[in-house]
Chains A and B, each alone.
Chain A
Amino acid sequence: MTRSIIARRPLRVALAALAALGLAACGDDLLVEAPKDIIVADNLYTNPAGFEAGLNALYAQVRKERNGYQESGDNIVGMTWSVGVDNGWANYVLISSRTMQELGSFNNPLYENYLWMWKWLYETINAANTIVNRAANPDIAWTPEERDRVIAEARLIRAWAYRHLTYLWGDVPLNLDESSGATIRTDWTRTPRAEVQRQMEEDLLFAEAHLPETSPMQGKLVKAVAQHYLAELYLAMDRPAEAQAKAEAVINSGLYSLITERYGVKASEPGVPFMDQFLDGNANRNQGNTEVLWSLQLDRDLEGGGLNIMRREWVNRYYTLRGIDITQEGYGGRGIGRISPTKWAIDLYEPGDDRGSRFAIRKFLLYNDADRLPAGKSLGDTLWLSWDEESTNDPRWPSTRKWDWINDVDPAGGYQYNDQPYLRLAETYLLLAEAQFKQNDLTGAAATLNVVRERSHATPIDAADVTLDFILDERSRELLSEEHRRYTLLRTHTWMERTRAHNPLTGPKLAARDTLLPIPQAVIDANIGTGMQQNPGY
């Protein structure tokens, strides 16, 4: 029997083993990082597909406008411009909606959602800056046209973010660079709003020049979006002639027209043309929507599908009403009534205006839950809602039907996943009317307003009827819950006066300082030693 080598020559074996292990464990190569699951800017923005991926994220950032603060699925970001205005109030109140409704001490620089919004918008700006910066790399294999179209999309969304920032805070830091760890700044300063607007104008003009007129995709930015935003920007900059030119460029492009006939998924059911474009299956151009300039894209079952809480916030809490089962088709789906239209906004429609019809605003419900009927009621009886006086936690208040949506898989679910119009031609007409009004072309303004009114069978008006208030009323009739109402009123310097007149909850509480929000305290504190100028009154 032979003995093993270990037993015979233990020392030699051990020395050899030690030496081998010692050699194995050498080398600084061990300290070089080679991450396998990480993508960095240097390896993404190397080809056109990488830039498209960068753009896709920008669109997803825009879409968050209709999700919650902190992406929470509640507390919609839109509280900021929909509550505390003439046509919107907070019904089932949360801290976010109370802030805009009560103002005063609630509207303060430590309110965390202001910080979230600041982060969200500057994150979008940095992502856009990164694309613009990296697109200058001459090694990328693309044509100048492809490159400029990519830059145009990024710059338009950058202007979109600065639009929010300037309306919310006034003067804001103008950041046009890709942020880097090597250049952390503690000396940010606020750029005058007029200067930020000049940059927005440049960005939008570039986008107008380099975006295509149409796209085979449904959610992509096209030239008309740049022109629409330019029209609004020129109004804000008090350059109405240029605003008129840009709005007319969209209207006269021949690419868009208002929806005047029933179409799409429910064309054969009772309804009005105005409301068809809000239905799931009708929002996009390839679904027959000739009015939409820019639609938001969602999908329940796909990576990147997002989620949307417009219904959750704007449809009232009808599930608490006895005898009503909101999971049935036609009841709007599950809303929790965070925001409601004011009494004034509900009463703004003449009889016969499709936009105030039962297809557009829910003013009654039919009992449909046999198990929970209140005493003396039968299935099919009408439950009339009421809107005498805004008073919080009121489940009987009417709501807009633009965000009605129900889903077979989860009829009681809290969110929705349908594509939605984000900008549409009707608003372009209303911008045009405002531009005409500002140039004293009342006849032109009346004609423009009538295009929008006649589509919904509202009585045509004439030049004598045209006032700024009428235009703002018309915007509320047409764009209730869609437009950034606070911005519209700030742009026309009417926010305080109109909110006092039409919103009994916020009207008595607002003050001049509330026209601009307080700069989030973290932004001020992060400027170590120097701080940053706060808006007056905070």
Chain B
Amino acid sequence: MQEIAHLPRLMTAAEFAEVKCQRVSAGEDCDADFTATELANMAAGESVDWVGLATQTGTQQQHNVSVAGGTGGTHYRISGSALGVEGVAKNDSFDRYTFGLNLAQDFGTRLKVGTTTQLSRTDRSGLSADFQDAFRMNPLTDAYQADGSLTIYPWEEDTFFANPLQGLLVTDDDITRRVFSSNFAELQLPFLPGLSARVNAGLDYANGRLGRYYGRDTRTGFAAGGRATTRDVSRSDWTLENLLRYTRSFDLHTVDVTALYGVSGHTQEDERLTAEGFPNDVLTYYQPNLAREFDPSHGITESNLISQMLRLNYTYASRYLVTLTARRDGYSGFGRNHKYGVFPSVALGWDVADETFWPFADRFNALKLRVSYGKSGNQAISPYRTLARLTDESYVDDGVSLPGFKPATLGNPELRWETTTTTNVGADFGLLNDRIRGTLDVYRSRTSDLLLNRAISPTHGIDVVTENIGVTSNRGVELSLSTLNVETPRFSWRTDFNVAADRSRIVDLYGNGEDDIVNQWFIGQPIDVNYGYAFDGIWQESDDIANSAQPTAKPGDVRVRDVNGDGTIDPEDRTFLGRVNPKYTAGLGSTVTYGAFTLNAYLYTVQGVTRANELLADNLGDDGRYNTILKHYWTPEDPINTYPANRPGTRLGLPVAYYQDASFIRLKDVTLSYTLPQRLVGQLGVGALRVYLDGRNLWTHTKWTGLDPELRSQYSTPLERSFVGGIDVSF
């Protein structure tokens, strides 16, 4: 079962009417500013809860079956699963069926061949309500017609608005079929003991087909005479790797050498047709030939990678470890002379507790120290960025279409690998005979030639170019601790704790020490910053506004901080507004076992993040057309300092956003399970049986007032809180 975890408090119809009246008519003689539809609903005391109508209590079902075994040189595992989810948004359903086969076969003692293959079918059919519309739709309108069907125009006079629920009427078939197959053949070569050759060949192919039709019972379909979209997307990723490996031990020495040559490719092809204007709705999207208007498109992107690697592992007495690696990678998306990057690394390990001189063996039973230093590469740009592309911008003349093209991107033939050099020092440790186990890592890294989309002067006619830019440095620490707090035959308690913190800053951009303000890249700051005007409270009647930095402000307007104190508000007053990336993240898991019962809980926290909350923007509109969350507005009688007056233009045209602390603590998961005792299991004729109840996303503590601090958009489908009951049986 799934329910909505949290919803912001939207205005009811009565609240909306009052706020709109104040906004549009300063609270006087408001009737003239309401349409007949709004007045009728006000008179009838009706209020549409659009989000309520768009949501439901969801359900989820999952079934997994697997069989595993082996005879002679054969090992197999066959599995199948079925998942069915009805989300908290109506019509938001998700069904997936998978079939998996793992098979490995030995041919004699030297050759082994195997596969891991999975087939799946995912069905995302069904369109839910438009949540942005549902959050913003005027509650004094009509969701349904007299006959109980959804209105096409919920606000009959204002035909700009479609019914936010119209998606529920749309024909929507969205099915993806996928084949994933990873295969290998490994051969122990006869002429040198310890030498083996291996080939890995993999394919991941998915095909998604979408067919969608807006009939005349939706505004989209009504306005267009029916609107159909069909889409066929196929994605194919293949890899082929050849490995030679030599591994051998001589006395206390162990050597393990691996050489790799691999290639991989990615292709995505996307074919679409949008068509509108059909004779009727009966054939839904199966009638493109009858459309009045077509808009087809067909795109393809292809990229390839070549990898070469040589790695040497040397271990002495299983206490001293050395790993030397050299990689050379090539990516098709880089400039002609910059396809390849070389990335060497070295890692050393020392198992200190294994030394005979280790004096604390009784309490401090394990300690491994690790040091590594190396380079790694990143090619995370899409293909074709080295080319200057044109985009279509067509025209017509007297009813004839005229294809047109204009420059759209700037090519950069100098694109190359982004490189990160990392030094990592770490330790794995165990205390009290592993009652306490942990890992600590401390790292520093330096990234150069970052692949970034750089905003440039729009005077070029194009305002962004992909470039390798600058140097950044990171340092951070990661700690994980597992402790077995209590252990008795009937009762045990274990906790798992982890915490991570990372600090990054720009060291240099263009070699001249200058900040790049248009991209909001500042030397000494992280790549991502919140930067802009700072909200500084509300102008009050007692303030000396005429002699302030905002002399045209009125009491109740938003006050912007005059950061440089020069008595005016101008772009020089933009400043940093809290962190984008968290100060730290941490998780705490706790497992309590009592007899056959196990209780598992997991808390997760993100701390030190600041984000602009889009729900706090005005949103009402000066013509009072949109609903918003219930706000506490400034008035002369209630001169608050947190939000401006309910009237147009209180930000005085300045882009000042409402930032909030988006830190949170969340109880992500609580599971209570019962494992049937062995004697009862035997009587039932099964191998093992476990019954559980799982609650997810049960509780969140945050100062954030939106839908959820983790959601990118505060107007999206709400997060759900779910309760799942399950049974695991094995034979």
Residues of A bordering B, CB below 8 Å? 6-7, 10-11, 14-15, 17-18, 21-22, 24-25, 28, 30-41, 44, 52-61, 63, 92-95, 98-99, 102, 104-112, 115, 118-119, 122-127, 129-130, 173, 175, 178-182, 184-186, 188, 217-220, 284, 286, 297-306, 319-320, 322, 334, 336, 372, 392-393, 409-410, 412-414, 419, 520-529, 538
Contact = CB atoms under 8 A, between A and B. Distances in A.
A33 B332 contact: yes
Contacts of A217: 397-398
Contacts of B107: 6-7, 10, 14
The contact size tier of chain B is 35 or more
Which 10 pairs of residues, A with B, have the shortest CB-CB distance? A126-B461, A304-B394, A106-B653, A56-B404, A57-B404, A412-B159, A526-B457, A181-B410, A57-B393, A525-B518
Given A126-B461, A217-B398, A99 B653 contact: yes
5 contacts: A15-B187, A28-B339, A301-B293, A522-B457, A523-B458
A344 to B, nearest CB: 24
A255 B350 CA distance: 93
A59 B649 CA distance: 36
A110 B455 CA distance: 16
B140 to A, nearest CB: 13
Interface string B428-441: 00000000000000
B656 to A, nearest CB: 10
B460 A185 contact: yes
B299 to A, nearest CB: 5
A40 to B, nearest CB: 6
B655 interface: yes
A124 B461 CA distance: 7
Contacts of A115: 458
Interface string B448-482: 00000001111111110100000000000000000
Given A14-B111, A38-B389, A181-B413, A409 B653 contact: no
B65 interface: no
B570 A538 contact: yes
Contacts of A107: 653
Contact of A30 (B158, B265, B655): B265
Nearest to A102: B649
B18 interface: no
A388 to B, nearest CB: 15
A59 to B, nearest CB: 5
Contacts of A10: 107-108, 110-111
B386 interface: yes
A71 B159 CA distance: 20
A60 B394 contact: yes
Q: Among B332, B461, B518, B654, which residue has the most Cβ atoms of chain A within 10 A?
A: B461
B175 interface: no
Nearest to A284: B398
A113 to B, nearest CB: 11
A84 to B, nearest CB: 13
Q: Among A123, A185, A303, which residue has the most Cβ atoms of chain B within 10 A?
A: A303
Contacts of A104: 552, 652-653
B406 A102 contact: no
Contacts of B15: none
A533 to B, nearest CB: 14
Given A15-B187, A319-B159, A56 B461 contact: no
Nearest to A56: B404
Given A25-B240, A217-B398, A304-B401, A119 B458 contact: yes
Contacts of A60: 393-395, 404
Contacts of B333: 33
Given A33-B387, A36-B300, 5 more contacts: A25-B263, A54-B405, A181-B410, A302-B401, A410-B224
Q: Among A37, A44, A178, A414, which residue has the most Cβ atoms of chain B within 10 A?
A: A37
Interface in B175-232: 185, 187, 190, 197, 199, 201, 222-225
Contacts of A55: 404
A13 B571 CA distance: 72
Nearest to A317: B623
B517 A525 contact: yes
Interface stretch (B48-56, B368-376, B495-503, B508-516): B508-516
B458 A122 contact: yes
Given A61-B406, A181-B388, A126 B460 contact: yes
Given A53-B405, A115-B458, A393-B33, A30 B304 contact: yes
A95 B262 CA distance: 56
A110 B396 contact: no
A299 B396 contact: yes
A352 to B, nearest CB: 34
B8 interface: no
Contact of B407 (A38, A41, A409): A41
Nearest to A21: B199
B15 to A, nearest CB: 20
Nearest to B304: A30
B426 interface: no
Contacts of A35: 301-302, 383-384, 387
Q: Among A21, A123, A526, which residue has the most Cβ atoms of chain B within 10 A?
A: A526
B116 to A, nearest CB: 18
Contact of A44 (B35, B390, B399, B655): B390
A412 B153 contact: yes
B571 A304 contact: no
B550 interface: yes
Contacts of A25: 240, 242, 261-263
B330 interface: yes
B24 A393 contact: yes
Contacts of B36: 322, 372
Contact of A109 (B298, B412, B571): B571
Nearest to A175: B459
A56 B402 contact: yes
A334 B157 CA distance: 10
A127 B406 contact: yes
A299 B397 CA distance: 9
A525 B574 CA distance: 12
B403 interface: yes
B460 to A, nearest CB: 4
B17 to A, nearest CB: 15
